[in-house]
Structure 1
Amino acid sequence: MEQVVSAVAGDLVNRFMSFLMSKYKTEEQLEKKMKRLQDLLIRAHMIVEEAEDRYITNSKMLLQLKKLVDVMYQGYHVLDTIKYRTLCSSRADENEVSRFKINELFFTTWIKRLCSMECTSNIPELQITLDNLESPVSNMKEFVLLLGGCERMFRSPYDSYVYIDNFMFGRHVEKQLVINILQQENIPPFAPAVLPIIGGSRVGKKTLVAHFCKNEKVRSKFSTILHMRGENIRRIAHEVGPGRSLVVVEFTSDVDEEDWLKFYSSVKKMGRGSKIIIISRIAKLSRFGTVKPVRLNGFSHEEYSYLFKVLAFGGTNPEEHPQLAVIAEYLAVALGGSLITANPIKKYRNVVMKNFSVFGEHPKNLMDQDHPIEITRLASSSRSSLPSSATLRLMPPHSEVDNSKTELPKVTFGDLIAGSAVLPREGFELVAWESRIPPYKRFVNFAAYCDEEPISQHHTASAGKKRKRFDK
């Protein structure tokens, strides 16, 4: 019996030692592969950033750049997924978000569930990503040599470094394709070239057009850039100018052949070298194109996740908050690649950080205390003629049943976030929500402008001092 027990114990010890050695080798192998992937991503991103500052006219170089960009964001996605989940699962610090007074039990359970998912196949996934990235990076030598001979673009440093949402994310290849087409001469010379830009809803078609229309080469090429809607193409005769023109037409529905031919004939009367750009979701409109259409698709999940984390964390290093980085990853999945949804979330983060900076508390806590909150950054994209030094404060909410009780201008919360509202010069009412059932209450906040005050005057929340109330 003793011999059996001794044999079983020895076998268990041997298996345990083998398990520890295997685990150590696996972790060591994982660490080496992650380091290799990180080095490759730095090299790839360096090439991409340099290419984005150059005019690339070679179509094959643009194709190679597109492939590199795709595998680069795939690499970032895999690296972040493994890195943050490893950090998240190895840390016992679950008080990272407790200062926001969220239900800790629910939040902690959710984080643990997210961190434990999909962590069993890290090494094979890493190896596949390394193989996909190593080949494009190693084949970029000729690309880099040719890139050195490409003309450099003019770019204001403030466009990219002061505001992270002040430039177009991605789309460099598509933008360069359009610029190249606009720089080419028409064949035959008096027949305007027609470039269709086709893509789904809210994928950035008009944003792409706005960016290349600001390009110095495009502006110097055309004396007039005319924007119009498809239903107004019959009025083009009244808009005809003597010089070379770029006509950008947005179609929301199909157009018949006769109307198109009349429109095209009118554009022919413009200056030699004029061109037409069609913007639409309707793929059939590409039949009017004289050049290959540029097709815009939504961002891939990997590319969108990268953008979402840039917007969510700003200048903060996500590695310092691995639990929040995991949540950001799953939020990116939940948002489904929507740019319209991601930007308001980023704006709200800015509002939260600003109120912590000025008042020392979360906006929700300030509102519970009937204290005004700072919302200037939430309204930053709305049109206003106010001086930059003015700040916008939101007073505690109230409800009203009768719309006729006040005569102040009214702005809806949705219009404020979307940036489609023209803000009044004086105080106004911000309609947060309107009930669709009796008694049809409207939940309204009074928004007031005030001058910027020194931050040091406001840091009294944690000290328990009573703040001065704002009067209407």
Structure 2
Amino acid sequence: MEMVVSAVAGDLINRLMSFLISKYKSEEQLEEKMKRLQDLLIRAHMIVEEAEVRYITNSKMLLQLKKLVEVMYQGYHVLDTIKYRTLCSSSADESEVSSSNINELSFTTCIEHLCTKNCTPNIHGLQITLDNLESTISNMKEFVLLLGGCERMFRRPYDSYVYIDNFMFGRHVEKQLVINILQQENIPPFAPAVLPIIGGSRVGKKTLVAHVCNNEKVRSKFSSILHVRGENIWRIAREVGPVRSLVMVEFTTDVDEEDWLKFYSSVKQMGRGSKIIIISKIAKLSRFGTVKPVRLDALSHEEYSYLFKVLAFGGTNPEEHPQLAVIAEDLAVALGGSLITANVCADMMRKNQNVHFWISIFKNYRNVVRKSFSVFREHPKNLMDQDHPIDITRLASSSWALPSSATFRLMPPHTEVDDSKTELPKVMVGDLIAGSAILPREEFELVSWESRIPPYKRFVNFATCCDEEPISQHHTASAGKKRKRLDK
């Protein structure tokens, strides 16, 4: 009997030792891979930053740069996710989170029925990302060699900015494509070239164009730069003369073929080398282009998550606050890629880097997303892009003394400019969430965000506090009031 017990005990000890050795080796391999990934990311970012201050006219180099940027942000996403969640799980001090366990904050766990994609990469994902980054960097030798011969542009270094929202994040490839097209000669030379810039709602089309127009090469090439809305295109013929001009036209609806031909004929009086940029989310308008359109897609989740964390932490090192980093990562998933909401939330979070405060923002927005999915099966961002009102009651501060039947409705944006003539009272979104403003009991304007970068837009929505009612009816009534107000 003693021999049996001894044999069993010996077997258990051997298994335990094997398990511990295997676990130690696995952790050691993980650390080595993480360090390797971090080193590769430094090399990749070095190439990207140098490329962003050069004029790259080679289209294939731009394609290679775009690929490098994609795998670089994938690498940052994998590195941060594993690193911060590991730090959280190994942290002995859990008192800061109180009753809210950090593991319960995972967006995919909290609202698993709303998401079909798990954004938490595993060890296998780490190896795949590592291989992709190594392969991409190893193929950049010719790129780096040719980059040294590209003209350097004048630009202030990133370190001179206090916040990353003081300059356009990313989009260097698209910006360079637009600049290259504007520098080319027209074919035929007497007809203005037409460049369509097509992209979804609020992905940064006008921001991209504004930064292109601020480029020293573009400013020196064109004597006149005009920006008009589609409904006012007929006044361009009266405002431009026989000088080289750059005309940007923003279309919110499709244009009839005959109307476009009339407009295009009228602007041929502009000087030789003039250009027209079409800005729209309507893909069909690219048919009017004389050059290949530039398509502006939404940021990938990895790039969006990187941007959001940089905005939220500001000058704070995320490694010193791994719990906050995990919350920021999960909130980035919940935000669904909205740049405006990212700036709004990050601005508040940067000013109050407290775990409880960040959790409250995450939970409030998660509740808004849940409500949106339960009623419309759509994310709030998608509803807003479709000009549909959304219910933001659960985003408002719990300090508001509201009737149980009251709801806050956010209507589609009516303007993105500073319209000081509007008589409706204005409330900032941050004040709504913090509970630091007096809310009107009628329709008011909710100022989502005021951009710090060109074209310095204010993102404004109609909002109202009302009794519970079918949102489709409210949407119809609001649209009617809006049309009536515009017709006056």
Instruction: Flag whether TM exceeds 0.5 (same fold).
Output: yes
Q: Who is 1:247 aligned against? A: 247
CA distance in 1, matches of 2:24, 2:313: 33
* Residue matched to 1:21: 21
Q: Does 1:110 align with 2:140?
A: no
**1:259-287 Cα distance to aligned partner (Å, 9 max, x none):** 11111111111101101111111111111
Partner of 1:261: 261
Give distance in 1, aligned partners of 2:439 and 2:205.
Answer: 40
Instruction: Specify the SS of the correspondent of 1:234.
Output: helix
Of residues 421, 435, 438, the one that matches 2:465 is: 435
Distance 1:119 1:168 in 2: 26
TM-score normalised according to structure 1 size: 0.74
Deviations 1:391-421 (A, max 9, x none): x9x99766787x9xxxxxxx95722x4339x
* 1:119-157 CA distance string (max 9 Å, x none): 997432211111100011111111111111111111134
Q: Say whether the 8 Å CA contact 1:89–1:115 is kept in structure 2.
A: no
Aligned pairs for 1:218-297 (under 5 A) are 218-297=218-297
Secondary structure at the aligned position of 1:165 is classed as: helix
Distance 1:139 1:396 in 2: 54
SS at match of 1:198: strand
The residue correspondences of 1:99-248 to structure 2 (distance < 5 A) are: 104-108=98-102, 110-111=104-105, 122-157=122-157, 161-248=161-248
| Equivalent position of 1:46 in the other structure | 46
Separation in 2, partners of 1:114, 1:265:
54
SS of the counterpart of 1:106? Answer: coil
Q: Which amino acid aligns with 2:303?
A: E
- The alignment partner of 2:152 has SS state of coil
Task: Report the CA distance shift for 1:435/1:257 in structure 2 as closer, same or farther (over 3 A).
Answer: closer
* Counterpart contact for 1:234–1:259, Cα < 8 Å: no
- CA contact 2:163–2:314 (8 Å) conserved in 1: no
Question: By how many angstroms is 1:345 displaced?
Answer: 1.0
1:86-123 Cα distance to aligned partner (Å, 9 max, x none) = 111000212446xxxxxx21355625998999899743
The amino acid of 2:215's aligned partner reads N
Equivalent residues of 2:107, 2:330 under 8 A apart: no
3-state SS of paired residue (1:227): strand
Q: Does the aligned pair in 2 maintain the 1:111–1:323 contact within 8 Å? A: no
Residue 418 of structure 1 is matched in structure 2 by: 449
Distance 1:303 1:7 in 2: 55
- CA deviation after TM superposition for structure 1 residue 348, in Å: 1.7
1:413-440: per-residue Cα shift (whole Å, max 9, x none)?
722x4339xxxxxxxxxxx9853249xx
Displacement after TM superposition at 1:341 (Å) = 0.3
- Contact 2:44 2:72 (C-alpha < 8 Å) held by counterparts: yes
Secondary structure, counterpart of 2:166 in structure 1: coil
Change (3 A) 1:206 1:265: same
Could you tell me which residue of structure 2 aligns to residue 374 of structure 1?
Answer: none
Asked whether the 8 Å contact 2:163–2:311 carries over to 1, the reply is no
What is the rounded CA distance, in whole Å, between the counterparts of 1:163 and 1:313 in structure 2? 10
Deviation at residue 235 of structure 1 after TM alignment:
2.2
Pairwise CA distance, 1:350: 4.5
In 2, the alpha carbon distance for the partners of 1:10 and 1:350 equals: 55
SS of the aligned residue for 2:226 comes to strand
Structure 2 residue 75 is matched with structure 1 residue 75:
yes
1:248 aligned counterpart, secondary structure: strand
Contact 1:252–1:281 at 8 Å: present in 2 too?
yes
For the pair 1:342 / 2:336, whether they are aligned, the reply is: no
Are the counterparts in 1 of residues 182 and 275 from structure 2 also a CA contact under 8 Å? Answer: yes
Cα distance between partner residues in 1 of 2:303 and 2:160 = 18
Q: In the aligned structure 2, how far is the partner of 1:121 from the partner of 1:216?
A: 42
Partner-residue secondary structure (3-state), 2:131 = helix
Task: Give the SS at the match of 1:105.
Answer: coil
Decide whether aligned partners of structure 1 residues 155 and 113 sit closer, same or farther in structure 2, where only a CA change above 3 A counts: closer
* One-letter amino acid matched to 1:8: V
Q: Could you list the per-position Cα deviations for residues 265-315 of structure 1 after superposition, in whole angstroms to 9, with x for gaps in the alignment?
A: 111111011011111111111111111110011000100000000001111
Give the corresponding residue for 2:370: none
Tell me the distance in 1 between the aligned counterparts of 2:149 and 2:200: 35
Question: 5+ unaligned residues in a row in structure 1: which ranges?
Answer: 98-103, 355-363, 369-380, 385-391, 404-410, 421-431, 439-472
Q: 1:278 & 1:113 partners in 2: Cα distance? A: 38
| AA of the residue aligned to 1:128 | I
Amino acid at match of 1:346: A
The Cα shift of 1:68 comes to 0.2
Question: Does 2:350 correspond to 1:320?
Answer: no
CA distance in 1, matches of 2:206, 2:119: 40
Q: Show CA shifts across 1:5-24 (max 9, x none).
A: 11111111110110011001
CA RMSD of aligned residues (A): 3.3
Q: For residues 237 and 164 of structure 1, what CA distance do their matches in structure 2 show?
A: 39
Change (3 A) 1:282 1:255: same
SS of residue paired to 1:276:
strand
TM-score, reference length from structure 2: 0.72
Q: Is the CA contact 1:186–1:273 (under 8 Å) kept in the aligned structure 2?
A: yes
- Find the residue that maps to 1:418 and give its secondary structure: strand
2:164 counterpart SS class: coil
83-92 vs 1-10, greater mean Cα deviation: 1-10
CA contact (8 A) 1:198 1:295 kept: yes
Query: Do the aligned residues in 2 keep the contact of 1:56 with 1:62 (CA within 8 Å)?
Result: yes
5+ residue gaps, structure 2: 113-117, 355-395, 401-416, 421-427, 452-461, 469-488
Specify the SS of the correspondent of 2:237: helix
Q: CA shift at 1:257, angstroms?
A: 1.0
What secondary structure does 2:133 align onto? helix
- Report if aligned partners of 1:88, 1:115 keep a CA contact under 8 Å in 2: no
> SS of the counterpart of 1:295?
strand
1-structure distance, mates of 2:310, 2:294: 27
SS at structure 1 position matched to 2:466: coil
1:96–1:10 distance in 2 versus 1, CA, 3 Å: same
Higher alpha-carbon Rg = 1
